[in-house]
Structure 1
Amino acid sequence: MNDGKKSRRRRSSSLLYTEPLESMEHVSDQAVSPNLNAGWVNAKGAWTIHIVLIAALKILFDIMPGVSQETAWFLTNIGYACGSYLMFHWVRGVPFDFNGGAYDNLNMWEQIDNGDQYTPAKKFLLSVPIVLFLLSTHYTNYDLTYFTINFFVVLGVVIPKLPFSHRMRVRFFSEQHDD
């Protein structure tokens, strides 16, 4: 039953779909003003904050009673990966309304450097979870359980950063409607 709605349920039951390209109106809106949402990644000190956050997470888990060094590194890796996935890949759009919705269909990773791949900022943001995975693996003494979980977590945060994942969406909990 349509109930007079203009959108219809997608026929495909696929969990993956590719976000369509923006209309000319959105492209022109993006060109008019700078994207303050993603511009900070190239600002002075922006890379340092990732190291500071990782150190803060490690210290937080170290001071918790009953948490071993291995578990602290493991939790640091998991915490950083979850936070970066949420920030860079899950949330779409811009938190403030200065551009008329020009970036509403893009996540922050796709907004950084106007979607260009392999810029210095994107290389750094791609390398941080990999280096943290390697540190975590080393400091958990190459334990198979920690390694396996850390490996799948790093894959979950690195794969969305790769060029073939550009504009690709994974949906588990929400219905997608075509307009």
Structure 2
Amino acid sequence: MALKYSVSNPNETWINSNGFILFYFFAILVVHLVLLSFPFLSTESVWTLTNTVHSLVNFLLLHWYKGAPFVTMDQESDSKTQWEQLTANNELDIYKRFLIAAPIIVFFIAVAYTHYNSVHFLINLAFLALAVIPKIPGLYGVRLFGINRY
């Protein structure tokens, strides 16, 4: 199968690298273990914080920051977020589907470990929305209320 990505923008290909999914889960595990090391936090709070940190980092790195961390040949990537660059060809391969499913998986784990407490549930749900709603195909290139337009 031939690569369907532009060679001029390496920002589109890093997700397909070997070990990406393993690294992603390892990063979540490290954040969770660091939060567990604080003795004043309960297990429920740690899982809610794990979901919160995961969703915030996911939102910032994929949906807020624009441009490419690499020098690219095309200037078009300077005005696109990482998610817009990844989904420019409108195909959702296994890695992009993983980026959609991962926040949902972390949400379900956090809700289960918080014993379905309503306060924790609402906090986890709000941060799940922050991580998943921008990935909806209908919101490709949309800037709500003009925020992050430039």
TM-based fold match above 0.5:
yes
Q: Does 1:149 align with 2:123?
A: yes
Alpha-carbon shift at residue 141 of structure 1 (Å): 0.6
- Checking the alignment, whether the CA contact within 8 Å between 1:69 and 1:139 is kept in structure 2 is yes
- Higher share of residues assigned strand: 1
Query: Identity of counterpart residues, as a percentage?
Result: 28
CA distance in 1, matches of 2:36, 2:91: 36
- Checking the alignment, whether the CA contact within 8 Å between 2:10 and 2:70 is kept in structure 1 is no
Alpha-carbon shift at residue 171 of structure 1 (Å): 5.1
RMSD: 2.0
What is the aligned partner in structure 2 of residue 140 from structure 1?
114
- Checking the alignment, whether the CA contact within 8 Å between 1:113 and 1:119 is kept in structure 2 is no
What is the aligned partner in structure 1 of residue 93 from structure 2?
119
What are the Cα deviations for residues 86-124 of structure 1, in whole angstroms up to 9, with x where unaligned?
000001111233314231111111111534242211111
CA distance in 1, matches of 2:25, 2:120: 22
CA distance in 1, matches of 2:105, 2:69: 30
Alpha-carbon shift at residue 149 of structure 1 (Å): 0.9
In our comparison, the structure showing a higher alpha carbon Rg is: 1
CA distance in 1, matches of 2:138, 2:88: 16
- Checking the alignment, whether the CA contact within 8 Å between 2:66 and 2:79 is kept in structure 1 is yes
Q: Alpha carbons of 1:64 and 1:115: their partners in 2 closer, same or farther (altered >3 Å)?
A: farther
Q: Alpha carbons of 1:143 and 1:170: their partners in 2 closer, same or farther (altered >3 Å)?
A: same
Runs of 5+ unmatched residues, structure 2: none
Alpha-carbon shift at residue 35 of structure 1 (Å): 2.0
CA distance in 2, matches of 1:169, 1:100: 22
Structure 1 SS opposite 2:143: strand
CA distance in 1, matches of 2:135, 2:101: 10
Alignment equivalent of 1:54, drawn from 28, 36, 42: 28
What are the Cα deviations for residues 22-64 of structure 1, in whole angstroms up to 9, with x where unaligned?
xxxxxxxx95x34212311011001111100110011001001
Q: Alpha carbons of 1:151 and 1:77: their partners in 2 closer, same or farther (altered >3 Å)?
A: same
Instruction: Report how many aligned residue pairs link the two structures.
Output: 146
Paired letter, 2:15: V
Q: Does 1:159 align with 2:130?
A: no
What is the aligned partner in structure 1 of residue 103 from structure 2?
129
TM-score by length of 1: 0.75
Q: Does 1:170 align with 2:144?
A: yes
What are the Cα deviations for residues 54-85 of structure 1, in whole angstroms up to 9, with x where unaligned?
10011001001201110110000000100011
- Higher share of residues assigned helix: 2
